[in-house]
Protein backbone atom coordinates (compact mmCIF):
# COMPACT_ATOMS: atom_id res chain seq x y z
CA UNK A 1 0.00 0.00 0.00
CA UNK A 2 1.16 3.32 -0.20
CA UNK A 3 0.54 5.09 2.88
CA UNK A 4 3.47 7.27 2.71
CA UNK A 5 6.16 7.07 4.99
CA UNK A 6 8.40 9.82 4.55
CA UNK A 7 9.92 7.12 2.70
CA UNK A 8 9.62 3.73 1.65
CA UNK A 9 12.94 1.27 1.62
CA UNK A 10 16.81 1.37 1.95
CA UNK A 11 20.34 -0.02 1.47
CA UNK A 12 23.72 0.83 3.00
CA UNK A 13 27.31 0.74 1.80
CA UNK A 14 30.45 1.01 3.90
CA UNK A 15 32.95 3.64 2.80
CA UNK A 16 35.83 1.39 1.85
CA UNK A 17 38.42 2.33 -0.79
CA UNK A 18 37.12 1.89 -4.33
CA UNK A 19 38.44 -1.33 -5.86
CA UNK A 20 37.38 -4.15 -8.13
CA UNK A 21 36.98 -6.44 -5.13
CA UNK A 22 34.92 -4.00 -3.07
CA UNK A 23 31.67 -5.32 -1.62
CA UNK A 24 28.86 -2.81 -1.51
CA UNK A 25 26.42 -3.50 1.31
CA UNK A 26 22.85 -2.59 0.44
CA UNK A 27 20.21 -2.41 3.17
CA UNK A 28 16.43 -1.98 3.11
CA UNK A 29 13.39 -2.46 5.25
CA UNK A 30 11.23 -5.52 4.60
CA UNK A 31 8.61 -4.52 2.06
CA UNK A 32 7.18 -7.35 -0.02
CA UNK A 33 7.04 -7.46 -3.14
CA UNK A 34 10.04 -5.18 -3.37
CA UNK A 35 12.39 -6.57 -0.69
CA UNK A 36 11.86 -9.14 2.03
CA UNK A 37 13.46 -12.18 3.68
CA UNK A 38 12.28 -15.60 2.56
CA UNK A 39 12.02 -18.68 4.81
CA UNK A 40 15.78 -19.20 4.49
CA UNK A 41 16.50 -15.62 5.56
CA UNK A 42 17.66 -14.68 2.08
CA UNK A 43 16.80 -11.28 0.62
CA UNK A 44 14.27 -11.61 -2.20
CA UNK A 45 12.03 -9.27 -4.16
CA UNK A 46 11.78 -7.19 -7.32
CA UNK A 47 14.14 -4.41 -6.28
CA UNK A 48 16.57 -6.88 -4.74
CA UNK A 49 16.83 -8.40 -8.22
CA UNK A 50 17.25 -4.94 -9.73
CA UNK A 51 20.21 -4.29 -7.41
CA UNK A 52 21.73 -7.69 -8.18
CA UNK A 53 21.26 -7.06 -11.90
CA UNK A 54 22.85 -3.61 -11.96
CA UNK A 55 25.76 -4.68 -9.73
CA UNK A 56 26.77 -7.23 -12.39
CA UNK A 57 27.52 -4.26 -14.63
CA UNK A 58 30.00 -2.82 -12.13
CA UNK A 59 33.33 -4.09 -10.76
CA UNK A 60 31.74 -4.49 -7.31
CA UNK A 61 30.00 -7.22 -5.39
CA UNK A 62 26.77 -6.74 -3.45
CA UNK A 63 25.77 -7.89 0.03
CA UNK A 64 22.09 -7.20 0.78
CA UNK A 65 20.73 -6.85 4.30
CA UNK A 66 17.24 -5.85 5.49
CA UNK A 67 16.75 -3.78 8.64
CA UNK A 68 14.25 -1.32 10.17
CA UNK A 69 13.69 1.65 7.90
CA UNK A 70 14.60 4.28 10.50
CA UNK A 71 18.03 2.70 11.01
CA UNK A 72 18.74 2.44 7.29
CA UNK A 73 17.55 5.98 6.64
CA UNK A 74 19.79 7.27 9.44
CA UNK A 75 22.79 5.46 7.97
CA UNK A 76 22.16 6.94 4.54
CA UNK A 77 21.98 10.45 5.99
CA UNK A 78 25.06 10.24 8.18
CA UNK A 79 27.39 7.60 6.75
CA UNK A 80 29.04 8.26 3.38
CA UNK A 81 28.57 5.56 0.75
CA UNK A 82 25.31 4.32 2.30
CA UNK A 83 22.73 3.72 -0.42
CA UNK A 84 18.96 3.75 -0.18
CA UNK A 85 17.55 1.99 -3.19
CA UNK A 86 13.83 2.74 -3.02
CA UNK A 87 13.34 5.98 -1.16
CA UNK A 88 10.55 8.32 -2.20
CA UNK A 89 11.99 11.48 -3.73
CA UNK A 90 10.12 14.30 -2.03
CA UNK A 91 10.78 18.08 -1.99
CA UNK A 92 11.87 18.07 1.65
CA UNK A 93 14.54 15.43 0.88
CA UNK A 94 15.81 16.96 -2.34
CA UNK A 95 18.85 18.67 -0.84
CA UNK A 96 19.58 15.98 1.75
CA UNK A 97 20.84 13.28 -0.62
CA UNK A 98 22.63 12.60 -3.86
CA UNK A 99 20.09 10.99 -6.18
CA UNK A 100 21.48 8.08 -8.22
CA UNK A 101 18.54 6.91 -10.30
CA UNK A 102 14.91 5.85 -10.28
CA UNK A 103 14.15 2.26 -9.25
CA UNK A 104 10.36 2.35 -9.47
CA UNK A 105 7.42 4.70 -9.97
CA UNK A 106 4.39 4.35 -7.69
CA UNK A 107 1.03 6.12 -7.74
CA UNK A 108 -0.66 7.85 -4.83
CA UNK A 109 -4.41 7.47 -4.32
CA UNK A 110 -7.21 8.42 -2.04
CA UNK A 111 -8.60 5.05 -0.95
CA UNK A 112 -12.07 4.54 0.50
CA UNK A 113 -14.57 1.84 1.35
CA UNK A 114 -16.38 0.22 -1.56
CA UNK A 115 -19.64 1.08 0.20
CA UNK A 116 -18.73 4.77 -0.24
CA UNK A 117 -20.38 5.68 -3.57
CA UNK A 118 -19.22 9.31 -3.72
CA UNK A 119 -17.53 10.09 -7.04
CA UNK A 120 -14.39 12.11 -6.31
CA UNK A 121 -13.06 14.21 -9.17
CA UNK A 122 -10.43 16.36 -7.42
CA UNK A 123 -8.49 16.84 -4.21
CA UNK A 124 -10.33 20.14 -3.78
CA UNK A 125 -13.64 18.28 -3.71
CA UNK A 126 -12.21 15.89 -1.08
CA UNK A 127 -11.91 18.82 1.36
CA UNK A 128 -15.61 18.29 2.08
CA UNK A 129 -14.69 14.96 3.67
CA UNK A 130 -12.19 13.67 6.24
CA UNK A 131 -8.85 12.30 5.08
CA UNK A 132 -6.39 10.23 7.08
CA UNK A 133 -2.66 9.62 6.91
CA UNK A 134 0.33 8.98 9.20
CA UNK A 135 1.70 11.80 11.35
CA UNK A 136 5.19 12.79 10.26
CA UNK A 137 4.95 11.34 6.76
CA UNK A 138 5.32 13.48 3.67
CA UNK A 139 1.62 12.84 3.01
CA UNK A 140 0.85 15.02 6.06
CA UNK A 141 2.89 17.87 4.57
CA UNK A 142 1.28 17.37 1.16
CA UNK A 143 -2.27 17.52 2.50
CA UNK A 144 -1.60 20.54 4.72
CA UNK A 145 0.02 22.35 1.79
CA UNK A 146 -3.19 21.68 -0.13
CA UNK A 147 -5.42 23.23 2.51
CA UNK A 148 -6.36 20.31 4.77
CA UNK A 149 -6.45 21.05 8.50
CA UNK A 150 -6.42 18.95 11.66
CA UNK A 151 -9.66 19.08 13.65
CA UNK A 152 -11.45 19.93 10.42
CA UNK A 153 -10.86 17.50 7.55
CA UNK A 154 -7.52 15.83 8.39
CA UNK A 155 -6.90 13.03 10.90
CA UNK A 156 -3.29 12.00 11.64
CA UNK A 157 -2.60 8.53 13.04
CA UNK A 158 0.52 7.29 14.79
CA UNK A 159 0.50 3.93 12.97
CA UNK A 160 -1.11 2.11 10.06
CA UNK A 161 -3.33 -0.16 12.16
CA UNK A 162 -5.03 2.83 13.75
CA UNK A 163 -5.43 4.63 10.43
CA UNK A 164 -7.00 1.69 8.60
CA UNK A 165 -9.32 0.82 11.47
CA UNK A 166 -10.60 4.40 11.46
CA UNK A 167 -11.43 4.03 7.78
CA UNK A 168 -13.17 0.68 8.25
CA UNK A 169 -15.15 2.09 11.20
CA UNK A 170 -16.17 5.09 9.03
CA UNK A 171 -14.49 7.60 11.32
CA UNK A 172 -12.63 8.95 8.30
CA UNK A 173 -13.73 8.92 4.67
CA UNK A 174 -10.47 8.39 2.77
CA UNK A 175 -6.84 7.42 3.29
CA UNK A 176 -3.94 8.82 1.30
CA UNK A 177 -1.74 5.90 0.34
CA UNK A 178 0.04 4.18 -2.52
CA UNK A 179 0.16 0.67 -3.92
CA UNK A 180 3.47 -0.42 -2.43
CA UNK A 181 2.58 -1.79 0.99
CA UNK A 182 -1.22 -1.61 1.01
CA UNK A 183 -1.95 -5.32 1.33
CA UNK A 184 0.75 -5.81 3.96
CA UNK A 185 -0.63 -3.02 6.13
CA UNK A 186 -4.21 -4.30 5.87
CA UNK A 187 -3.09 -7.84 6.67
CA UNK A 188 -1.25 -6.55 9.74
CA UNK A 189 -4.45 -4.81 10.85
CA UNK A 190 -6.53 -7.97 10.19
CA UNK A 191 -8.59 -6.13 7.59
CA UNK A 192 -9.71 -7.21 4.12
CA UNK A 193 -8.27 -5.45 1.04
CA UNK A 194 -11.40 -6.49 -0.86
CA UNK A 195 -13.53 -3.98 1.05
CA UNK A 196 -11.66 -0.91 -0.20
CA UNK A 197 -10.93 0.63 -3.59
CA UNK A 198 -9.00 3.48 -5.16
CA UNK A 199 -11.13 6.60 -5.38
CA UNK A 200 -8.83 9.30 -6.79
CA UNK A 201 -5.32 9.26 -8.25
CA UNK A 202 -3.11 12.11 -7.00
CA UNK A 203 -0.89 12.96 -9.94
CA UNK A 204 0.84 15.81 -8.08
CA UNK A 205 2.06 13.61 -5.23
CA UNK A 206 5.75 12.57 -5.52
CA UNK A 207 5.83 9.07 -6.99
CA UNK A 208 9.44 8.29 -7.92
CA UNK A 209 11.41 5.77 -5.85
CA UNK A 210 15.15 6.37 -6.13
CA UNK A 211 18.54 5.10 -5.12
CA UNK A 212 19.90 7.87 -2.90
CA UNK A 213 22.97 8.40 -0.76
CA UNK A 214 24.73 10.83 1.56
CA UNK A 215 26.03 14.02 -0.05
CA UNK A 216 29.59 13.02 0.90
CA UNK A 217 29.49 9.59 -0.75
CA UNK A 218 32.16 8.68 -3.28
CA UNK A 219 31.18 10.25 -6.65
CA UNK A 220 33.00 7.45 -8.51
CA UNK A 221 30.77 4.81 -6.90
CA UNK A 222 27.71 6.98 -7.50
CA UNK A 223 28.57 7.35 -11.16
CA UNK A 224 29.13 3.63 -11.74
CA UNK A 225 25.88 2.67 -10.00
CA UNK A 226 23.93 5.28 -11.98
CA UNK A 227 25.46 4.06 -15.23
CA UNK A 228 24.71 0.42 -14.41
CA UNK A 229 21.07 1.25 -13.60
CA UNK A 230 20.70 2.97 -16.97
CA UNK A 231 22.32 -0.03 -18.67
CA UNK A 232 19.79 -2.55 -17.33
CA UNK A 233 16.93 -0.25 -18.29
CA UNK A 234 18.31 0.11 -21.81
CA UNK A 235 19.08 -3.57 -22.40
CA UNK A 236 15.73 -4.80 -21.04
CA UNK A 237 16.90 -6.55 -17.85
CA UNK A 238 14.96 -4.09 -15.68
CA UNK A 239 11.70 -4.62 -17.58
CA UNK A 240 12.05 -8.41 -17.37
CA UNK A 241 12.48 -8.24 -13.59
CA UNK A 242 9.39 -6.06 -13.07
CA UNK A 243 7.31 -8.28 -15.35
CA UNK A 244 8.41 -11.36 -13.40
CA UNK A 245 7.06 -9.76 -10.22
CA UNK A 246 3.91 -8.56 -12.00
CA UNK A 247 4.87 -4.91 -11.63
CA UNK A 248 4.44 -2.25 -14.30
CA UNK A 249 7.71 -0.90 -15.77
Tell me the torsion sign for CA atoms 63, 69, 71, 75: positive
Sign of the alpha-carbon dihedral angle for 206, 208, 213, 219: negative
Same CATH fold assignment for domains 23-106+207-244 and 108-201: yes
Q: Where are the beta strands (DSSP E) in the chain?
A: 23-28, 36-37, 43-44, 61-66, 83-88, 98-105, 108-113, 131-134, 154-157, 174-178, 196-201, 208-213
* pLDDT at 140 (0 to 100): 93
Q: Could you tell me the fold of the domain covering 108-201?
A: D-Maltodextrin-Binding Protein; domain 2 (3.40.190)
Flag the least confident range among 10-14, 116-120, 244-248.
10-14
For the chain, the 3-state helix, strand and coil shares in percent, each to the nearest 5, are 30, 25, 45
Contact 196, 167 (CB under 8 A): yes
The DSSP letter of residue 6 is: S
At residue 11 the predicted structure's pLDDT band, cuts being 50, 70 and 90, is very low
pLDDT on residue 37:
92
Where are the chain's structural domains? Answer: 23-106+207-244, 108-201
Q: Give me the pLDDT at residue 182, please.
A: 85
Confidence of residue 2 (pLDDT cuts 50, 70, 90): very low
**Average pLDDT for the chain:** 88
Burial tier of 131 (Cβ tally within 10 Å: 0-12, 13-18, 19+): buried
- What tens digit of pLDDT does each residue of 92-143 get? 899 999 999 999 988 899 999 999 999 999 999 999 999 999 988 889 999 9
CA dihedral 6, 171, 196, 133 (to 10 degrees): -10
**Whole-angstrom distance, CA of residue 63 vs CA of residue 96:** 25
Would the pLDDT of 63 be above 90?
A: no
DSSP, res 16: P
CA 66/CA 37 separation, integer angstroms: 8
Rounded CA gap, 58 and 192, in Å? 43
Identify the CATH number of the domain defined by range 23-106+207-244: 3.40.190.10
Of 143, 160, 135, residue with least CA distance to 200: 143
Amino acid sequence: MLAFRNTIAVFFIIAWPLSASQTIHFVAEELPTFHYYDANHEAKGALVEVINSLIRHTPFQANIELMPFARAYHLAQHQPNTYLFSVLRTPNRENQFSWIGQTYKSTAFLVGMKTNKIQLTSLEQAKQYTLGTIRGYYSETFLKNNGFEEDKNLVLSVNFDSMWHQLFKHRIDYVLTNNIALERELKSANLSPYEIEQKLALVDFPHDLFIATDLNSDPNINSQLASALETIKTNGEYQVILSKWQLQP
